[in-house]
Structure 1
């Protein structure tokens, strides 16, 4: 018999639970699906939120051939064979066949390179699924050819809706009388993962001999203690634990930071995933208060890569303690966010003439570089002049972003 999670896998978009920001009425992905033309995209989100299901529904909705590859077992040869099959299944003016790659972050660079031509020419519509940040795991040329959609952990209302659907609509469960008297424990253990939620429910029902079953928090806790492998401990509360880890570093509590790191280690987390978070924390939270923190974090990442596990836990722990005990400053993080927002609001403003490069005589004749003051020619290697676009200058020296005065000799 199929597992409960597979029996309840939605076949239509109308039955899909969660991700309203993507597939709800008027949402970006929903509009694309309704138009009948879907561009290549990557789904990034935690396990059990419907990435594979969504890809299958899209293929069925568009009535287009659907090919699947697993990044764990497929090589470059498999990729090329699927692309050739997809090309032979392509009919004039029809939608491109969909190639779904699960765990695309596990594809090597050469495997990802082999997809570029087919994606760019539209031979296939690529749908990739990943639990890892694509910015780190997917090569830039492939990422630039795909839209990126972020899926969220299912919310409480979504999980309750799924539970109710399971006990009332599943062909096996509806044969028995199941009362969901208490749901806090089963929701907590699921961690927003629909597959894990249904696996737990399946386990509880299978352990009961009678047809009348009352689900309580105590029952769930007892059953999971009796069978700790009933759910994926490697992904338990994944994003909550990562959040607690980062916030403990930010809050200067090295003991708590090491505890949450130990939770990730014991949960089977990829050490490089932890190391990347340490590098991000060094840049975002310690920042200019201690620039050496970023150097140490990068050194720890490098050490983890070179010496492997479990020895890599030692330099990683040193970096975590150092970051937690270091002074904090997020001014650069906040400033770049404000600068990006300003650029989005104002668009491509022209560079002031005196700041422009003038490699040719024609450019010099047009005034490029004219009036630029070379700071090293002045006392203290500093001179006041305008560096912001004309439209953003609010007074003679300042733009709309903080621009603290510099002193001679500053880096």
Structure 2
């Protein structure tokens, strides 16, 4: 196609429009192959996808395209589609169709006209016909779906929006909201191990040293979910999620490592202080590697003041413990050590 597009420009000065439906199905290498042609202007690329392009389309290609987001159809739009289908469909228009619970159809479709028409067709075929009359009610819709009509896209925006709502509810100390969003994901068929992994990250990032046990519980929950599976895994996830939502929060450890990473990138590889260096050989010992190191356990309270950071940043502070939960004890202990340093 790209070769033909090049010929069209060279011989006829015509541009080629390339439309790719479901472009998210192209792997990275296939998308990379389009990049040069788009940059040169050999093709006008139009890609359509039902997934979030931020995750499914490579950044270099996405940055060279204009993104047009198509919103979900409104309730009024969907209602018009139902009426149009009943009026114009080759089969449906032969019957007088009464829909007693249109809201249930709209709930199942979740803004997707194709899903709406599919369930309408299924319920029509299941319905008992009296002459040319047909009645579709909520019970018939439930029968067609074999469960309450819930929609959850495990790969698209709903997936990311719902897990985001779940994590933010736990972080915000709302166990009720956490249980609700957990149920939404599980009822939609979300992988329970995905949820469990996210809870492990949250336990360190958002709870940290305010309640160190949270990480152990989250990790144990992950192992239990893997071993038990659904449907019982929902109980384990609920226990972990509600516990994490109910304990004190701190992101001090998370902020500490990010601040340290920023410092490393800023200042580069600063030399390790001599007294902290390893001295496995006689030559290194002669160079005073490790010679002035003070072993803390040889001193009162297993502490002795000495510099552990590179000389250039020896007064930097990365970890600032909060007053929340058990971390307040860590803060008190570290504050006490600092006061002892000042006294000396």
Structure 1 residue 311 displacement after superposition: 1.1
Q: Paired residue for 2:213?
A: 292
The 1:333/1:257 distance shift into structure 2, 3 A limit, reads: same
Report how far residue 387 of structure 1 moved: 0.5
Match of 1:234 in 2: 154
Residue 185 of structure 1 pairs with residue 159 of structure 2: no
Q: Return the alpha-carbon distance in structure 1 between the equivalents of residues 263 and 287 of structure 2.
A: 29
- Residue aligning to 1:342: 263
* 1:55 equivalenced with 2:42 (yes/no): no
TM-score by length of 2: 0.58
CA contact (8 A) 1:288 1:329 kept: yes
Partner of 1:261: 182
Q: Which runs of 5+ in 1 are unaligned?
A: 1-11, 18-47, 64-130, 133-148, 164-183, 189-199, 211-217
Q: Deviations over 1:357-391 (max 9, x none)?
A: 11111110011002111111111111111000111
TM-score normalised according to structure 1 size:
0.49
Task: Confirm or deny: 8 A CA contact 1:358 1:364 kept in the other structure.
Answer: yes
1 CA distance for matches of 2:224 and 2:61? 32
Secondary structure class of the residue paired with 2:26: helix
Matched, 1:401 2:318: yes
SS at match of 1:159: coil
Provide the aligned C-alpha RMSD in A.
4.3
**What's the counterpart of residue 276 of structure 1?**
197
The number of residue pairs the alignment matches comes to 238
Gaps of 5+ in 2: 1-14, 38-54, 90-105, 120-144, 146-150, 321-330, 338-344
Instruction: Give 1:158's match in structure 2, choosing from 63, 67, 86.
Output: 67
- Report matched runs for 1:36-185 at 5 Å: 50=24, 52=26, 55-59=29-33, 158-160=67-69, 184-185=71-72
SS in 1 for 2:154: helix
For 1:321, the equivalent position in structure 2 comes to 242
By percentage of residues, which structure has more helix? Answer: 2
Q: 1:122-143, CA deviations, whole angstroms, 9 ceiling, x for partnerless residues?
A: xxxxxxxxx79xxxxxxxxxxx
CA distance in 2, matches of 1:402, 1:13: 57
